[in-house]
Structure 1
Amino acid sequence: MKDEEGYEMAKILVTETVHPVGPELLEAAGHQVVYAGRDMDTVRREIVDADAVFVRILDLPGELLSAGKQLKIVSKHGVGYDNIDLDYCRQAGIPVTTAPNANSLSVAEHAFALMMALAKNIVPVSKAYRETGFSAKNYAPGTELTGKVLGLIGVGRIGGHFAQMCGRGFGMEVLAFDPYAKGVPEGVTLTEDLDEVVRRADVLSLHCALTEETRKLIDARRLALMKPTAILINCARGPMVDEEALIGALERGELAAAGLDVTDPEPLAPDSPLFRMDNVIVTPHYAPTTLEASIRVSKIGCENILAVLSGQEPVGRIV
């Protein structure tokens, strides 16, 4: 596509809401930015002549991507890419990029916040105080985390940040499982026995990618291995946890609490039992949503688009 002066102008399709700093870079370079939101009819219509797609968590199956006959890049807003049909992109020769490390600190801090809130009963005690008055001080006691065992599944950027927060900040013993780890932060003990991590953890936190290998990694069998006093944190991907089995374990008192920023399905059904449990905190895939991370991810994602359009190598390329 060319502008009135004959300048080669690309069309970039942006799905969902992103910080404007990235799209402003695209527009400053003379490109057209089209915002489709999450409306699939709009996405299907606009992708036909799009040169690039900047996507958050909207599903981009091959059937949809194949309509974009002139696509030159799919840029992921963040690091998780299980919503993009990578096989199709490889076959079609379309680069797929992520924004590595842009939101890892924000996600780690969110996991930390969930852990603290659940350990200290912050949400139900605050609710009880508002509803019943000062007698809420007699609510079931919270628990200390200092000296407890943090079990990590995945010690990449996010898991590494979380390990340091808990290990250095609270003196927690950090035990981790990650068969792909190239190195771990100081103070982290790496083991090849996933069940040992699950069994020993006072807090079990998931920080790995969703693959066929990790789908329902935390199933009924592994939930049964966990301490009844343990807390489960998932800020990775919902399908890694067997949600039906998790609900059962929580209802039977076989698990103390769960903090979930991701669910399966997503969004979670309004009538899900998880919403009714005082020992569960559910947030809507909100962990990466800080101002700082939003700026970094938007900027890196759009810089990747500019790089590919100008024939340069982007960062975080996975295809």
Structure 2
Amino acid sequence: MGGAPPGDHRPRGPGVHRRHRVVHESRRVRRRRGAPGGRGPFDAIITRTEPITADLLDAASSLSVVAKHGAGVDNIDIPAATRNGVLVANTPGANARSVAEHAVALLLAVKRRVPQAHDATRAGEWRRHDFRGHEQSGRTLGLLGAGNAGRDVARLLSGFDVSVCALDPYVDPAALPENVSLVDTVDALFEAADDVSVHAPLTDETRHAVGRDQLAALPGDGVVVNTARGGIVDEAALRAALDAGDLLGAGIDVYESEPPAADDPLLARDDVVLTQHNAGVTAEALRAMSREAAAVVRTVYEGGVPETALNADALGR
């Protein structure tokens, strides 16, 4: 079984049987030994961000399952996996609370100018009136995506007396918290919201779904937070909106290109709070994702179909 690089997120516990040989690989190790990733005699692969490409899947003749250590599967070629009879399953919900807490933290950090006040204080610059912030209470938050993480954001912000509207054509309305109402389009979401938090998967449908027109619909003290996937928010449009004063700021954890280039204009902005695609990286979330990913592998080994299978039709091919 091929796994993610060693660390707190290593597969362990009841999902991994003692008879299984677990190999932890990283891009650096494979580059050093000159072997393309995943072409070893693996029966299963657990991956976080490593691309699982068509070439890899075509070459891995003994592979039967790819378990995603996380929710997003844009790094896995699912059609190629299906063609090769490889089942793909993810671990949705395992890191949802971690992502939701991070999204709220980014929202509040932008609103209250926490990074700027922190830097000034450490530099010995006491200028408290330069860091006047904005309250979150009484505002309307828009959720682009109302899956596990999005719904957790709504629950966390319920104590702030925040109204929540959401766009998610796939969610069961009965699963939504009481403070969430649904809208039908991206434009309607941005017209109704004061701030927006993005929690959708990256697909052809959602790529650059947040563009210049949508951002211009927010109030001038609005904030956009993206802890989902880079590419959903058009970064050029975001910079233009910030330059025009259409927004107060943005909290960004994911980027169109990761890591962002050293000369990426977002890195030089004072009105953007940036983190390193680590919204779902907490000790608790990593352990939960490890357990669930290992359970996916075990279920397939035992002849079952995981509840989170994304291509159950791959079985039997």
Query: TM-score when scaled to structure 2?
Result: 0.91
Contact preservation (8 Å) 2:143, 2:150: yes
Query: TM-score when scaled to structure 1?
Result: 0.91
Distance 1:88 1:256, change over 3 A: same
Q: Which amino acid aligns with 1:295?
A: R
Contact preservation (8 Å) 1:18, 1:294: no
**Secondary structure of 1:248's match?**
helix
Count residues in correspondence.
306
Percent of pairs with identical residues:
34
Q: Distance in 1 between matches of 2:188 and 2:64?
A: 45
Distance 1:281 1:68, change over 3 A: same
Alignment match, 1:171? 161
Name the Cα RMSD after superposition: 1.8
Contact preservation (8 Å) 1:120, 1:143: yes
Contact preservation (8 Å) 2:27, 2:37: no
Structure 1 position 229 matched with structure 2 position 218: no
Contact preservation (8 Å) 1:62, 1:88: yes
Task: Give the CA deviation at 1:212.
Answer: 0.4
**Secondary structure of 2:204's match?**
coil
Alignment match, 2:153? 162
Deviation string 1:209-242 (CA, Å, 9 cap, x unpaired) is 1110000001122222222211000011101011
Q: In structure 1, list runs of 5 or more residues that go unmatched.
A: 1-11
Alignment match, 2:134? 143
Q: Distance in 2 between matches of 1:112 and 1:206?
A: 11
Q: Distance in 1 between matches of 2:184 and 2:70?
A: 28
**Secondary structure of 1:263's match?**
coil
Q: Distance in 1 between matches of 2:9 and 2:225?
A: 31
Structure 1 position 292 matched with structure 2 position 281: no
Alignment match, 2:314? none
Task: Give the CA deviation at 1:194.
Answer: 2.3
Contact preservation (8 Å) 1:76, 1:99: yes
Could you say which structure has the greater relative contact order, defined with CA pairs below 8 angstroms and 6 or more residues apart? 2
Structure 1 position 84 matched with structure 2 position 76: yes
Deviation string 1:51-108 (CA, Å, 9 cap, x unpaired) is 1111001211111221111101001001110110001011111100111211111100
Task: Give the CA deviation at 1:45.
Answer: 5.5
Q: Which amino acid aligns with 1:157?
A: N
Q: Which amino acid aligns with 2:101?
A: E
Q: Which amino acid aligns with 2:11?
A: G
Q: Which amino acid aligns with 1:175?
A: C
Q: Which amino acid aligns with 2:23?
A: V
Alignment match, 1:6? none
